[in-house]
Amino acid sequence: MPESRSAAKPLLTVEHLRKVYESSTGSVEAIGDISFQMNAGELVVIVGPSGCGKTTLLKCIAGLLRPTSGVVELEGKRVTGPPPNMALVFQEYGRSLYPWLTVRGNVDLPLKHKKLSRAERDRLIDDALVAVGLEHAAKSYPWQLSGGMQQRVAIARAVAYEPEVLIMDEPFAAVDAQTRADLEDLVRTLHRERGMSILFVTHDIDESVYLGERVVVLSKSPTWVQEDLSIDLPADRDQLVTRALPRFTELRTHVYEQIQRAKRGEAVRPGATAA
Protein backbone atom coordinates (compact mmCIF):
# COMPACT_ATOMS: atom_id res chain seq x y z
CA MET A 1 0.00 0.00 0.00
CA PRO A 2 1.76 3.18 -1.13
CA GLU A 3 -0.36 5.60 0.90
CA SER A 4 -0.44 3.66 4.16
CA ARG A 5 0.37 5.77 7.19
CA SER A 6 3.01 3.47 8.54
CA ALA A 7 3.02 4.84 12.09
CA ALA A 8 -0.73 5.02 12.55
CA LYS A 9 -2.51 1.99 13.94
CA PRO A 10 -5.07 0.61 11.50
CA LEU A 11 -8.68 1.56 12.22
CA LEU A 12 -10.11 -1.81 11.28
CA THR A 13 -8.29 -5.12 11.20
CA VAL A 14 -9.72 -8.36 9.90
CA GLU A 15 -7.50 -11.35 10.58
CA HIS A 16 -7.99 -14.88 9.28
CA LEU A 17 -11.74 -14.51 9.40
CA ARG A 18 -13.59 -17.74 8.71
CA LYS A 19 -17.32 -18.41 8.78
CA VAL A 20 -18.96 -21.78 8.45
CA TYR A 21 -22.75 -22.04 8.48
CA GLU A 22 -23.98 -25.17 10.17
CA SER A 23 -27.28 -26.49 8.95
CA SER A 24 -29.21 -29.73 9.14
CA THR A 25 -28.06 -30.70 5.63
CA GLY A 26 -24.39 -30.11 6.39
CA SER A 27 -22.01 -27.25 6.87
CA VAL A 28 -21.28 -24.56 4.28
CA GLU A 29 -18.01 -22.70 4.38
CA ALA A 30 -19.01 -19.17 3.33
CA ILE A 31 -15.77 -17.41 4.19
CA GLY A 32 -12.49 -19.28 3.99
CA ASP A 33 -9.82 -16.93 5.26
CA ILE A 34 -10.09 -13.17 4.92
CA SER A 35 -7.45 -10.75 6.20
CA PHE A 36 -7.21 -7.05 5.44
CA GLN A 37 -6.70 -3.74 7.18
CA MET A 38 -8.25 -0.35 6.82
CA ASN A 39 -6.81 2.95 8.03
CA ALA A 40 -8.72 5.89 9.43
CA GLY A 41 -9.98 8.22 6.72
CA GLU A 42 -9.81 5.60 3.99
CA LEU A 43 -12.54 4.63 1.56
CA VAL A 44 -12.14 0.92 0.93
CA VAL A 45 -14.39 -0.90 -1.50
CA ILE A 46 -14.91 -4.63 -1.28
CA VAL A 47 -15.95 -6.25 -4.52
CA GLY A 48 -16.46 -9.87 -5.38
CA PRO A 49 -18.45 -12.26 -7.53
CA SER A 50 -22.07 -12.72 -6.55
CA GLY A 51 -22.60 -15.14 -3.71
CA CYS A 52 -19.07 -14.71 -2.41
CA GLY A 53 -20.12 -13.96 1.14
CA LYS A 54 -19.82 -10.17 1.06
CA THR A 55 -22.82 -9.72 3.33
CA THR A 56 -21.56 -12.43 5.69
CA LEU A 57 -18.23 -10.62 5.92
CA LEU A 58 -19.94 -7.32 6.70
CA LYS A 59 -22.15 -8.87 9.35
CA CYS A 60 -19.08 -10.36 11.01
CA ILE A 61 -17.33 -6.98 10.92
CA ALA A 62 -20.43 -5.25 12.27
CA GLY A 63 -20.67 -7.73 15.14
CA LEU A 64 -24.06 -9.02 13.97
CA LEU A 65 -22.63 -12.47 13.22
CA ARG A 66 -20.07 -14.41 15.19
CA PRO A 67 -17.20 -15.64 13.01
CA THR A 68 -16.30 -19.31 13.26
CA SER A 69 -12.70 -18.31 13.77
CA GLY A 70 -10.53 -15.26 13.30
CA VAL A 71 -10.57 -11.78 14.74
CA VAL A 72 -12.14 -8.45 13.84
CA GLU A 73 -10.64 -5.46 15.61
CA LEU A 74 -11.92 -1.89 15.54
CA GLU A 75 -9.52 0.68 16.97
CA GLY A 76 -7.60 -2.12 18.62
CA LYS A 77 -10.68 -3.51 20.36
CA ARG A 78 -11.96 -6.92 19.46
CA VAL A 79 -15.48 -6.87 17.97
CA THR A 80 -17.78 -9.33 19.74
CA GLY A 81 -21.07 -7.46 19.41
CA PRO A 82 -22.19 -4.39 17.46
CA PRO A 83 -19.59 -1.71 18.31
CA PRO A 84 -21.00 1.68 19.30
CA ASN A 85 -18.67 3.63 17.00
CA MET A 86 -19.82 1.97 13.79
CA ALA A 87 -22.79 2.74 11.55
CA LEU A 88 -24.37 0.61 8.87
CA VAL A 89 -26.24 1.45 5.69
CA PHE A 90 -28.15 -1.53 4.35
CA GLN A 91 -29.18 -2.34 0.83
CA GLU A 92 -32.83 -2.67 1.82
CA TYR A 93 -33.50 0.96 2.74
CA GLY A 94 -37.24 0.23 2.89
CA ARG A 95 -36.69 -2.24 5.72
CA SER A 96 -33.95 -0.38 7.51
CA LEU A 97 -35.86 2.88 8.00
CA TYR A 98 -38.74 2.82 10.46
CA PRO A 99 -41.95 3.77 8.66
CA TRP A 100 -43.64 4.99 11.87
CA LEU A 101 -40.99 7.66 12.38
CA THR A 102 -40.52 10.76 10.26
CA VAL A 103 -37.27 11.35 8.43
CA ARG A 104 -36.14 13.44 11.38
CA GLY A 105 -37.24 10.78 13.87
CA ASN A 106 -35.28 8.13 12.00
CA VAL A 107 -32.11 10.20 12.01
CA ASP A 108 -32.67 11.09 15.67
CA LEU A 109 -33.27 7.54 16.94
CA PRO A 110 -29.63 6.33 17.24
CA LEU A 111 -28.66 9.61 18.90
CA LYS A 112 -31.10 9.17 21.78
CA HIS A 113 -28.73 7.19 23.96
CA LYS A 114 -25.67 9.28 23.10
CA LYS A 115 -26.26 11.58 26.07
CA LEU A 116 -26.28 14.74 23.99
CA SER A 117 -28.26 17.87 24.71
CA ARG A 118 -31.40 18.48 22.67
CA ALA A 119 -29.71 21.39 20.90
CA GLU A 120 -26.65 19.34 20.06
CA ARG A 121 -28.81 16.55 18.68
CA ASP A 122 -30.82 19.00 16.59
CA ARG A 123 -27.61 20.43 15.22
CA LEU A 124 -26.33 16.98 14.24
CA ILE A 125 -29.64 16.07 12.58
CA ASP A 126 -29.90 19.31 10.64
CA ASP A 127 -26.30 19.04 9.58
CA ALA A 128 -26.72 15.45 8.38
CA LEU A 129 -29.91 16.24 6.49
CA VAL A 130 -28.23 19.17 4.75
CA ALA A 131 -25.27 16.94 3.91
CA VAL A 132 -27.51 14.53 2.02
CA GLY A 133 -29.71 17.29 0.59
CA LEU A 134 -32.90 16.39 2.43
CA GLU A 135 -33.37 19.38 4.73
CA HIS A 136 -36.78 20.06 3.16
CA ALA A 137 -38.08 16.54 3.85
CA ALA A 138 -37.42 16.34 7.60
CA LYS A 139 -41.10 16.10 8.48
CA SER A 140 -42.01 13.59 5.78
CA TYR A 141 -42.24 9.88 6.37
CA PRO A 142 -39.77 7.61 4.57
CA TRP A 143 -42.50 5.95 2.53
CA GLN A 144 -43.49 9.32 1.09
CA LEU A 145 -40.06 9.56 -0.54
CA SER A 146 -38.51 7.94 -3.59
CA GLY A 147 -36.07 5.06 -3.20
CA GLY A 148 -33.02 7.22 -3.71
CA MET A 149 -34.24 9.72 -1.16
CA GLN A 150 -34.93 6.95 1.34
CA GLN A 151 -31.37 5.73 0.99
CA ARG A 152 -30.24 9.32 1.58
CA VAL A 153 -32.17 9.25 4.86
CA ALA A 154 -30.34 6.07 5.86
CA ILE A 155 -27.04 7.77 4.99
CA ALA A 156 -28.04 10.88 6.97
CA ARG A 157 -28.82 8.68 9.96
CA ALA A 158 -25.32 7.19 9.74
CA VAL A 159 -23.70 10.62 9.26
CA ALA A 160 -25.45 12.14 12.28
CA TYR A 161 -24.31 9.20 14.39
CA GLU A 162 -20.70 10.32 13.78
CA PRO A 163 -19.22 6.82 13.59
CA GLU A 164 -15.53 6.01 13.37
CA VAL A 165 -16.30 3.81 10.43
CA LEU A 166 -19.30 3.73 8.10
CA ILE A 167 -20.13 0.39 6.56
CA MET A 168 -22.29 0.29 3.46
CA ASP A 169 -23.68 -3.02 2.23
CA GLU A 170 -24.48 -2.72 -1.50
CA PRO A 171 -26.39 0.44 -0.69
CA PHE A 172 -27.23 1.43 -4.24
CA ALA A 173 -28.11 -1.97 -5.69
CA ALA A 174 -31.83 -1.23 -5.58
CA VAL A 175 -31.90 2.30 -7.03
CA ASP A 176 -31.94 3.38 -10.68
CA ALA A 177 -28.75 4.27 -12.53
CA GLN A 178 -29.12 8.05 -12.44
CA THR A 179 -29.89 8.14 -8.74
CA ARG A 180 -27.03 5.78 -8.23
CA ALA A 181 -24.54 8.18 -9.83
CA ASP A 182 -25.80 10.97 -7.55
CA LEU A 183 -25.49 8.78 -4.47
CA GLU A 184 -21.97 7.69 -5.45
CA ASP A 185 -20.95 11.33 -5.62
CA LEU A 186 -22.60 11.87 -2.23
CA VAL A 187 -20.46 9.12 -0.72
CA ARG A 188 -17.33 10.65 -2.27
CA THR A 189 -18.30 14.05 -0.90
CA LEU A 190 -18.88 12.70 2.62
CA HIS A 191 -15.51 10.98 2.48
CA ARG A 192 -13.65 13.99 1.11
CA GLU A 193 -15.28 16.80 3.05
CA ARG A 194 -15.88 15.07 6.36
CA GLY A 195 -12.96 12.68 6.30
CA MET A 196 -15.29 9.74 6.99
CA SER A 197 -13.79 6.26 6.95
CA ILE A 198 -16.03 4.20 4.71
CA LEU A 199 -16.07 0.49 4.01
CA PHE A 200 -18.21 0.02 0.94
CA VAL A 201 -19.36 -3.34 -0.37
CA THR A 202 -20.60 -3.71 -3.92
CA HIS A 203 -20.86 -6.20 -6.76
CA ASP A 204 -20.54 -3.39 -9.32
CA ILE A 205 -16.99 -3.25 -10.72
CA ASP A 206 -17.27 0.28 -12.16
CA GLU A 207 -18.64 1.55 -8.88
CA SER A 208 -15.79 -0.03 -6.93
CA VAL A 209 -13.13 1.64 -9.07
CA TYR A 210 -14.94 4.98 -9.20
CA LEU A 211 -15.47 5.19 -5.44
CA GLY A 212 -12.51 3.50 -3.86
CA GLU A 213 -9.05 4.47 -2.84
CA ARG A 214 -8.47 0.78 -2.42
CA VAL A 215 -10.40 -2.08 -3.89
CA VAL A 216 -10.34 -5.42 -2.14
CA VAL A 217 -11.23 -8.18 -4.60
CA LEU A 218 -12.72 -11.26 -3.02
CA SER A 219 -12.57 -14.76 -4.45
CA LYS A 220 -15.61 -16.95 -4.82
CA SER A 221 -16.85 -18.84 -1.78
CA PRO A 222 -15.13 -20.07 0.46
CA THR A 223 -13.83 -16.56 0.28
CA TRP A 224 -10.36 -15.12 0.64
CA VAL A 225 -8.79 -11.83 -0.48
CA GLN A 226 -7.68 -12.33 -4.06
CA GLU A 227 -6.21 -8.89 -4.51
CA ASP A 228 -5.82 -5.68 -2.54
CA LEU A 229 -5.60 -3.04 -5.23
CA SER A 230 -4.73 0.59 -4.68
CA ILE A 231 -6.68 2.95 -6.98
CA ASP A 232 -4.33 5.68 -8.18
CA LEU A 233 -7.00 7.95 -9.67
CA PRO A 234 -7.13 11.64 -8.74
CA ALA A 235 -9.01 12.19 -5.47
CA ASP A 236 -11.35 14.65 -7.13
CA ARG A 237 -13.66 12.36 -9.05
CA ASP A 238 -16.30 13.22 -11.56
CA GLN A 239 -18.80 10.91 -13.20
CA LEU A 240 -17.85 12.09 -16.71
CA VAL A 241 -14.17 13.00 -16.42
CA THR A 242 -13.00 10.19 -14.16
CA ARG A 243 -14.87 7.48 -16.00
CA ALA A 244 -13.32 8.70 -19.28
CA LEU A 245 -9.74 8.45 -18.01
CA PRO A 246 -7.61 5.73 -19.62
CA ARG A 247 -6.40 4.74 -16.15
CA PHE A 248 -10.00 4.22 -15.03
CA THR A 249 -10.54 1.85 -17.93
CA GLU A 250 -7.32 -0.02 -17.12
CA LEU A 251 -8.24 -0.46 -13.48
CA ARG A 252 -11.76 -1.43 -14.37
CA THR A 253 -10.50 -4.03 -16.84
CA HIS A 254 -8.08 -5.34 -14.26
CA VAL A 255 -10.74 -5.74 -11.58
CA TYR A 256 -13.11 -7.24 -14.12
CA GLU A 257 -10.52 -9.86 -15.08
CA GLN A 258 -9.87 -10.61 -11.44
CA ILE A 259 -13.56 -11.16 -10.84
CA GLN A 260 -13.78 -13.43 -13.88
CA ARG A 261 -10.83 -15.42 -12.57
CA ALA A 262 -12.51 -15.53 -9.19
CA LYS A 263 -15.71 -16.87 -10.72
CA ARG A 264 -13.87 -19.58 -12.62
CA GLY A 265 -11.93 -20.40 -9.47
CA GLU A 266 -8.60 -20.03 -11.32
CA ALA A 267 -6.90 -17.93 -8.71
CA VAL A 268 -5.16 -20.05 -6.13
CA ARG A 269 -5.22 -19.16 -2.49
CA PRO A 270 -1.71 -18.49 -1.31
CA GLY A 271 -0.55 -21.04 1.19
CA ALA A 272 -3.58 -23.24 0.60
CA THR A 273 -2.86 -26.90 0.03
CA ALA A 274 -4.97 -29.45 -1.74
CA ALA A 275 -6.81 -30.13 1.52
Partner 1 sequence: MTLYTSTVVTPRKPSRVWAKIGENTAYALGLPIILLVIWGIWSSISPAPFFPSPLVIAEAFVETWIGPAFVNDVLPSLARLGISIVLAVVLGIAAGTVIGLVRWLRELLEPIFEFFRAVPPPVLIPIVAVLVGANDTMKVVVMVTGAIWPVLLNTIEGVRSTDSVMTETAQSFAITRSERLRFLVLPAASPRIMTGVRQCLSIALILMVISEMFFSSSGLGYQIVFFQRNYLIAQMWSGIVLLGLIGVLLAVIFGFVERRVLRWYHGVKEVERA
Give me the least distance between CB of 186 and partner 1, in Å please. 7
Question: Is residue 90 near partner 1 by the rule CB under 8 A?
Answer: yes
DSSP letter at 113? G
Report d(CA 75, CA 206) in Å as an integer: 30
Give me the least distance between CB of 274 and partner 1, in Å please. 38
Question: Is residue 62 near partner 1 by the rule CB under 8 A?
Answer: yes
Q: Quick one: 167 or 262, whose CB is closer to partner 1?
A: 167
Closest CA to 175 of 130, 198, 145, 210: 145
- Interface with partner 1 (CB under 8 A), residue from 50, 80, 95, 118: 95
Question: Is residue 265 near partner 1 by the rule CB under 8 A?
Answer: no
Q: Which of positions 173-202 make contact with partner 1 (CB under 8 A)?
A: 182, 185-186, 189
φ, ψ for residue 99 (rounded to 5)? -65, -20
Give me the least distance between CB of 184 and partner 1, in Å please. 11
Q: In terms of DSSP bridges, do strands 26-38 and 12-23 run parallel, antiparallel, or are they unpaired?
A: antiparallel
Q: In terms of DSSP bridges, do strands 69-74 and 12-23 run parallel, antiparallel, or are they unpaired?
A: antiparallel
Biggest CA–CA distance in the chain, Å, is 61
Give me the least distance between CB of 255 and partner 1, in Å please. 27
Question: Is residue 137 near partner 1 by the rule CB under 8 A?
Answer: yes
- Interface with partner 1 (CB under 8 A), residue from 25, 136, 193, 270: 136
Total Cβ atoms within 10 A of residue 115 = 7
Question: Is residue 99 near partner 1 by the rule CB under 8 A?
Answer: yes
Stretch that binds partner 1, among 17-25, 34-42, 90-98, 257-265 (CB under 8 A): 90-98
Question: Is residue 113 near partner 1 by the rule CB under 8 A?
Answer: yes
Q: First vs last Cα of the chain: how many Å apart?
A: 31
- Point out which residues pair with 45 in neighbouring strands: 200, 215
Report d(CA 48, CA 250) in Å as an integer: 18
Report d(CA 61, CA 240) in Å as an integer: 34
Which residues contact partner 1 (rule: CB under 8 A)?
A: 59, 62-64, 82-84, 86-88, 90, 92, 95-96, 98-101, 109-110, 112-113, 133-134, 136-137, 140-141, 143-146, 149, 157, 161, 182, 185-186, 189
